[in-house]
Amino acid sequence: MTMRFFDEIWPLLNEGTVCDVRIGLNWTTVVVENQDHKRCGLASTLKGSHGHTGEPTIPGAGELIGRPAMELAQMAQAQEPTRVSLGMAAINAMLPQYPETWTDRNVEEVLSSLGKDKPVALIGHFPFVPRLRQVVCRLDVIDRNPLPGDHPASAVAEILPQAGVVAITGMTLLNGSLSGLLDLCASQAIVLLMGPSTPLSPLMFDYGIDMLGGSIVTDIDPVLLAVSQGANFRQVKAAGVRLVTMEK
């Protein structure tokens, strides 16, 4: 699915020029200017191993501003994790926006409602997990680095087919695991892709996803400052991010 996504997303993107790039401790941002309009895309910062080969993690670092945004977007297909983050942030900055399809509901609200009478499987441990456990009939959290009460990644094949609601972090699109997770979901399950890395594009509905929970940067300069100073997502959101849900 990942290769299909990239093949199909390129023609949809709005061409533009890169006017800012920040690769922070937790988040990566790319700002693209198109016809005097600036948009900022977010993605989680993935980290590769730090080698001593002299090969740059980001080719052209220090010289990215002024380049065609598509050059950065294509890094989403790279093997180096941080380049993937940079590419995904560029894609999110270049996507056409459909504000008439957005609702101001965050994913916690959506899952609280859907999970009242359906078991919920959550791929990725999010800060709202303790609150969500109190209101849904069952919650199984699966994470590569499980916290107490979570399941390890090896449990997906057992848990996902039993879930009525499946919420998957957008990070899985970056690391290539999304396709396999979608294959494990029951045909009647409601599937959400969520998190700031999530592309808010109707294209995602073609892959068996029912809802998207993503982020729109509404105040670019404060968000850039927060990202470059190592902010977590709660801090980035407070700086100027709107959480929205988009349904099939």
User: What does DSSP assign to residue 148?
Assistant: T
Question: What's the rounded Cα separation, in Å, for the pair 197 and 215?
Answer: 8
Give the model's pLDDT for residue 4: 84
Alpha carbon 44 to its chain centroid, in Å, reads 7
Can you tell me the mean pLDDT for 137-158? 94
- pLDDT digits over 35-48, tens only? 879 999 999 999 87
What's the CA angle centered on 209, arms 121 and 77, to 5 degrees? 100
* Mean model confidence pLDDT for the chain: 93
Closest to 88 in 3D by CA, of 32, 58, 44, 123: 44
- pLDDT digits over 181-215, tens only? 999 999 999 999 999 999 999 999 999 999 999 99
Question: What's the rounded Cα separation, in Å, for the pair 244 and 134?
Answer: 23
Contact criterion met (CB below 8 Å) for 43 and 196: yes
Q: Is the pLDDT of residue 52 over 70?
A: no
If pLDDT is split at 50, 70 and 90, which confidence band does 64 have?
Answer: very high
Q: What is the 3-state secondary structure (H, E, C) of 162-182?
A: HCCEEEEECHHHHHCCHHHHH
Residue 233: Cβ within 10 Å count: 18
> Which domains are seen in the chain, by residue range?
2-97+216-247 (3.30.390), 100-214 (3.40.50.11590)
Residue 96: Cβ within 10 Å count: 10
- pLDDT digits over 69-110, tens only? 999 999 999 999 999 999 999 999 999 999 999 999 989 999
CA dihedral 45, 49, 53, 55 (to 10 degrees): -20
